[in-house]
Amino acid sequence: MARICAVGGTRLGLSPASETETPWLGRSMLRREDARFVTGQGRYVDDLTPEGCLHLAFARSPYAHGRIEAVGREAADAADNVVAVFTAAELGPLPGNAINPLAPDIVETPFEVLASETVTSLGQPVAAVVARTPTAARDAAELIELDIEPLDPLADGEGPCSVVYSISEGDADAAFAAAAHVVSIRVEHSLLAPSPMEPRATLATWEEGRLTAWCSTQTPYRVREDLARILGLDLEAVRVIAPDVGGAFGGKASIFPEDAMVAFAARALAAPVKWCATRNDDLLFATHGRGAVSTGEMAFDASGRALALRADLAFQQGSWMTYSAVVPAGNALRILPGPYAIPVLDLKSRARMTNRAAVGIYRGAGRPEAAMLLDRLMDEGARATGIDPIEIRLLNAFAPADLPLARSGGAIVDSGDFPRLLETLRERAVYAELRAEQTRRRAAGEIVGLGLCLYIEPCGQGWESAEVTLIRDGRFVATTGSSAQGQGRETAFAQIAADALGTTPDRVAIRQGDTADAAAGLGALASRSTAIGGSAMRKACEALRTTLVEAAAELLQCPPESVLVRPQRVYGGDNAASVGLAELARHIASSRGDAALTASTIYNAEGEAWASGACLACVAIDADTGETTVERIVWIDDAGLVVNPLLAEGQLLGGLAQGLGEALLERLVYDTEGQVLTGSFMDYAMPRAGDIPPVEIAKIETLSPSNALGVKGVGEAGCIGVPAAVVNAVADALAPMGAADFQLPLTSERVWRAIAHGPNNAPGAEDR
């Protein structure tokens, strides 16, 4: 091939130097997806209504537990605009959802698409009505007569265990017997509603023997596998698309019975069928989070060194198990010793079935439960020994030289600098001054407290896929197996791809969320997308860049080492020679075939990335009302290399808001019959803008050696460190009154009772 572009660089006024704009990693770039979101161009499942689309609504169980005697469908069948009514009888026996076999001896309880003989949860789908309009479907679903004989719901702690985990190291009895101080804590986590802005929704079509489902999900590939198995279809006959997803927080990481019903109906009717949950549907029957009751004891020697940790965490499982059902119980346990060197461990966790909605992963998934128990104990230890809470953490935290650190239970903490986190926090918060101010305010009669949390969090292991193509106009299209739920994936992944390719982010289109686009993917969860999906993206882009360099070397007749890939052109040899990317694409296609324009990879991480952070919360409590005001939060986060600081801060703040909700406001309330008393946002207290205190976030950066980018997660961090710091601050505020035993959330009533009743109160008893 002739040397066709020798003067191109000059003609365009471009040179390798003028075109150098890297690196893009580390830049605060605005989210490219926001232009469509803020102008109403986002496309969520409910925005998609194909020609002839039918609408599905459910008749749901009004009881937590009961025997189905009869399902009266005549009135619904006869209602206007109704196309079909389905009960378990029409479905016949179907497989349930898959459950991730993360532990041996899991007792599996998958879902029934529609309840057949018994109902096991309030809100469980019993019948489905398909009609020509959403209102006709809802109205007809109300006409279904459910004749259900109520049965007693399982009482707390009575249900069978789905999973049991334990970790034991050293002689705990001996360690506790030898201790100078022993502190203990009991934490009751409320059941929480993940509450994405967009409730669950699925649309399915059936055409020529193929199912296409648009599902508001974090895990399109999982949904595809489940739908294929439940419907008895080949995987190739099922395509799942996650369009724009309005939040998920772990609540959309599994298929639901409703999704399977929509797909079944689409096939049975050979028509598009759509279902969108209402907020009430989601508060009743979407997954719940947390709900664990944890007890822990920590033994210290006279100098404040932790000698031993005992913990017992009792999780709820609900009435069926999501794909990641056992993750919270397993995660909490393997994280529990946290950043601290504790030589003796006796740790147990388990999850028990209940007659409630499934309890699944929720932003943090076991990490918040571990941090809450451990760092509550650490603050109690500080009080018992008279050592300052920062000092006792410095005394017990691992040093950077101790990492990587292999833990019992299999965790390998790969990186971090816990002393630096604490020292940075001390400095940024001007901690000594805060303590002096607390003393002054206390003397003036105020109830004020400071609380700390030093946490570690696993975020990113395993594999993910990516594919990148140089298209004929000289731009790139990159596909990731990690889909998005609102994090700004398209922006961050374009930055990663741009650096790896030597181009600019605006020349890289990011595709995600469609199982037809990429061979495989795990999805967007577990704070892993950037670490693992981002590493896959980098590897795929590096592979394509190698092709670009080799092809340009051929074309420009220069050694590959001299080739520079720049945003618009590829330069070689004496730098005067260059070829435009569109021209290079044509050359590669003709010399090597179209397939050479694409590089794909399945990246498998070398290890697991661990992020960490230190949080300080300052609270003031109104003695008359018990109302807690969080006056300030200072937070030092270590997420390794930060791809886009603006997006990272958004993730951290969002998690912080949910963490504050958990600490102070949110709680799903069930009565003894298993009825939900918090079925709307009138009763379930979401945090609002006015609840968010002044927040200062700073970072340190220890690169993760476990993935190709050195990055760690940020999405769940706010739910991990913030609640524990806030609760510790309230405990610190109330300590002079001897009030210590209070449970989540710290509503004004509970805190008031703690103040009014002193150390032997049993707040929370008011509403059991």
Residues of this chain that bind ligand SMO (CB under 6 A): 218, 249-250, 253, 361-363, 365, 525-526
Please say which residue, 487 or 628, places its beta carbon nearer to ligand SMO. 487
Query: CA torsion angle for 231, 232, 235, 240 (degrees, to 10)?
Result: 0
Please say which residue, 248 or 754, places its beta carbon nearer to ligand SMO. 248
Please say which residue, 23 or 101, places its beta carbon nearer to ligand SMO. 101
Query: In whole angstroms, how far apart are CA 379 and each of 147, 657, 678, 730?
Result: 53, 23, 33, 11
Please say which residue, 250 or 502, places its beta carbon nearer to ligand SMO. 250
Please say which residue, 141 or 609, places its beta carbon nearer to ligand SMO. 609
Please say which residue, 251 or 502, places its beta carbon nearer to ligand SMO. 251
Please say which residue, 221 or 752, places its beta carbon nearer to ligand SMO. 221
Task: State the residue number with the nearest CB to ligand SMO.
Answer: 250
Stated as kind and residue range, the H or E segment containing 128 is strand 125-131
Please say which residue, 486 or 572, places its beta carbon nearer to ligand SMO. 486
The residue among 227, 245, 632 whose CA lies nearest residue 451 is 632
- Can you name the residues that pair with 272 across neighbouring β-strands? none
Tokens 């951290």 identify what position? 652
Other beta carbons less than 10 A from residue 307's beta carbon: 21
Shortest distance (Å) from residue 363 CB to ligand SMO: 5
Shortest distance (Å) from residue 249 CB to ligand SMO: 6
* Omega before 23 within 30 of 0, i.e. cis: yes
Q: Which residues have a Cβ under 8 Å from the Cβ of 341 and sit 6 or more positions away?
A: 306, 396, 397, 398, 402
Shortest distance (Å) from residue 321 CB to ligand SMO: 15
Side-chain-side CA neighbours of 118 within 13 Å: the count stands at 12
Shortest distance (Å) from residue 539 CB to ligand SMO: 23
Query: CA torsion angle for 718, 723, 724, 730 (degrees, to 10)?
Result: 140
The residue among 346, 342, 348 whose CA lies nearest residue 330 is 348
Please say which residue, 194 or 674, places its beta carbon nearer to ligand SMO. 194
Read off the amino acid at residue 499: D
Shortest distance (Å) from residue 328 CB to ligand SMO: 9
Shortest distance (Å) from residue 388 CB to ligand SMO: 33
d(CA 395, CA 492): 38
Please say which residue, 255 or 577, places its beta carbon nearer to ligand SMO. 255
Shortest distance (Å) from residue 456 CB to ligand SMO: 16
Shortest distance (Å) from residue 367 CB to ligand SMO: 9
Please say which residue, 79 or 526, places its beta carbon nearer to ligand SMO. 526
Shortest distance (Å) from residue 358 CB to ligand SMO: 13
Q: Name the region of 195 (left: φ>0; alpha: ψ -120 to 50; beta: rest).
A: left
Q: Which residues have a Cβ under 8 Å from the Cβ of 576 and sit 6 or more positions away?
A: 6, 7, 9, 10
Shortest distance (Å) from residue 646 CB to ligand SMO: 21
Q: Which residues have a Cβ under 8 Å from the Cβ of 714 and sit 6 or more positions away?
A: 527, 611, 637, 639, 642, 648, 651, 652, 655
Shortest distance (Å) from residue 524 CB to ligand SMO: 7
> Can you read off the two tokens belonging to residue 288?
């719940």
Shortest distance (Å) from residue 360 CB to ligand SMO: 8
Q: Determine how β-strand 463-470 pairs with β-strand 598-604.
A: antiparallel
d(CA 409, CA 399): 21
Shortest distance (Å) from residue 64 CB to ligand SMO: 25
DSSP state of 588: H
d(CA 442, CA 760): 23
**How far is the first Cα of the chain from the last one, in angstroms, to the nearest whole number?**
81
Q: Are 385 and 300 in contact (CB under 8 A)?
A: yes
* Omega before 50 within 30 of 0, i.e. cis: no
Please say which residue, 253 or 697, places its beta carbon nearer to ligand SMO. 253
Please say which residue, 526 or 697, places its beta carbon nearer to ligand SMO. 526
Read off the amino acid at residue 744: L
Q: What is the CA radius of gyration of the chain?
A: 28
